[in-house]
Amino acid sequence: MAADYVDKISKGSIPPKITGNYNGDFNEIKNNLNSCIDSLSGLIAEMKQMSDEHNLGEIDKVIPTDKFEGAYRTMARCQRHGGRTYFRQEEGHGLCGRVRQGKLRCSIGEVPGKKAFINETIEQVRSNLKALIADTGTLVEAAASVG
């Protein structure tokens, strides 16, 4: 039974917890397999909940790393920071706030690799806003000289 459970877990299938009564080392194996099942099931559930929340626009949802130990904590931490690394959420929010205040010279820094489209999009928006401001200034000057 233990070999079957280890085989299933190694292939990504999470079996139900073992409920039988065992003695000695067999009980220790049962407890350890159940602990592994709990950790994997918990991590998968947290990842799904985070993904569902992100899909609903709740991008602040992260996996609570303190629920996990060892490699499971590392996996939760990687997922937790995955979203933040992707958009650097705190910097992105700060940038939006500064742009809203009219501060167009601010930046979130370079985002690497295929994520560079974020920088390109922000720079295009910034450029468009600056051009609109310049055009508005030109129109105001022209209207003042006519009037």
**Per-residue pLDDT tens digits for 38-85:** 999 999 999 899 888 877 877 778 888 899 898 888 888 877 555 444
The one-letter code for the residue type at 91 is: E
Angstrom CA distances, 38 to 30, 41, 90, 94, stand at 12, 5, 32, 38
For the cut 90, the answer to whether the pLDDT of residue 5 exceeds it is yes
Q: Is the pTM of this model over 0.85?
A: no
Residue 47 neighbours by CB distance under 10 Å: 16
What digits encode the pLDDT tens for the residues 86-98? 445 555 556 666 6
Considering just the CA atoms, what is the radius of gyration of the chain in Å?
26
CA distance 2 to 125: 58
Average pLDDT, the chain: 80
Q: Which two tokens stand for residue 127?
A: 């450029």
